[in-house]
Structure 1
Amino acid sequence: MHGPASSGWLLVALCAVTGAYCLVRMRSGGEALMGFGMAAMAVPAAAFTPPSWAWFAYAFVFGAASVRALWAARAGAHHLHHLAGAGAMVYMSVVMAGSPAHAHGQGGSGVPLLTGALLLYFAGYVLLTGVRLVPVTAVAGNGAGHDGSAGWGERPELARACRLSMGIAMVAMLLTL
């Protein structure tokens, strides 16, 4: 899932920080898994080329996350987005496992219709999340500090910004597929 090394490292940093924030908040282990998984997949090939079995391991881990998201979707539609994200990660892992000599993001190896559909979904998600991010106010009394402001882990705009950054990263990874 890689282009130039500098953009690859920026994608790694963005996804790792997002995954760490989700892990610290401990609200969504699925989002933390997605952030760290995307960071691992985005490491530039010049720095590290994973062994061939790693793509199958990614597919297995994100396949399990897909099953969990499908199960959780019974409780709310938000989990359908997690299902789409985990499914996209499975798809990218399978494509990378089947690419010639595990080309590690050299492009041209995905199913164009499926890749296009995923790109449309995540581009729409990024736009919608970006619009929702614009004026967000903290709810008083919900994790508020002494001055009435929300604590850093309870700020809704940070959670939305993390979702936005992971959506942008997914678009970037799908574009290089």
Structure 2
Amino acid sequence: MVTWLLAGLAAGAAGLCLLRLRSPDCRGAHRRGEAAEAAMAAGTAGMAVLPGVVWGWVFTMLAGWLLLGAVGERSGLAHRLHHGVGSLAMAYMALAMAPGHGHLHAGAPMGLPAVTGGLLLYFGGYTLWAGSRLLAEPGTAAHTTATAHAAMWGRAGGGTLQACRAAMGIAMFAMLLTL
């Protein structure tokens, strides 16, 4: 049940990111960030339902693309590095949870405790940061005007972007707890 809830949460976040990509304000580094958010969320949903070594390779390639793209980039560097860390964490989890790879005995996923602990601290802190920004977002509670609705999907992101980031941080944290 929890696996399907996690997959649904991640798939919903991917859908919202894909909708935001359609916005006319979504250009340049912002567009690459949204595409990375959508790829991470879709991969999280897929990996939650069908774990395997293949996901490790997919996320390793995504991490390489993100981290190499961060070299020399000034706009959105922290966000790109965050996605690179997230992709490497997903690759790590995919390899640790894959059947026949990283299992100490049947049904017991095994990762390296120091790496898992470091990633738990990182994503726990990130989730708290993203959640605090969501709560601090002016007017995040019910907006009904057309202007507020347009701003929610525009470049600034409004509460929807922060909610997606918090949801993905929670999903990463939950998946890391299984190791």
For this structure pair, what is the TM-score category when the shorter chain's length is used for normalisation?
A: 0.7 to 0.9
**Could you list the per-position Cα deviations for residues 50-90 of structure 1 after superposition, in whole angstroms to 9, with x for gaps in the alignment?**
5xxx7232111111110111123232222110011000011
Identity %: 41
Distance 1:169 1:147 in 2: 31
Residue of structure 2 equivalent to 1:137:
138
The list of structure 1 runs, each at least 4 consecutive aligned residues, that deviate by more than 4 angstroms after superposition, is: none
Residue of structure 2 equivalent to 1:64:
61
After superposition, the CA RMSD in angstroms is 2.3
Alignment of 1:84-123 (within 5 A): 84-97=85-98, 98-100=101-103, 106-123=107-124
What letter corresponds to residue 39 of structure 2 in structure 1? L
TM-score (norm 1): 0.78
Distance 1:37 1:11 in 2: 12
Within the candidate set 28, 35, 38, 1:29 is matched to 35
Distance 1:101 1:112, change over 3 A: closer
Which stretch shifts more, 125-134 or 19-28? 19-28
Distance 1:147 1:34, change over 3 A: closer
TM-score (norm 2): 0.78
Alignment of 1:133-172 (within 5 A): 133-137=134-138, 147-151=146-150, 152-154=152-154, 155-172=157-174
Q: Do the aligned residues in 1 keep the contact of 2:104 with 2:110 (CA within 8 Å)? A: no
Q: Indicate the SS of the match to 1:110.
A: coil
Structure 1 gap segments, 5+ residues each: 1-5, 44-49, 139-144
Following superposition, the deviation at residue 42 of structure 1 comes to: 1.5
Task: Tell me the number of residue pairs that the alignment of Structure 1 and Structure 2 aligns.
Answer: 155
Distance 1:58 1:29 in 2: 18
Q: Do the aligned residues in 2 keep the contact of 1:96 with 1:102 (CA within 8 Å)? A: no
What letter corresponds to residue 132 of structure 1 in structure 2? R
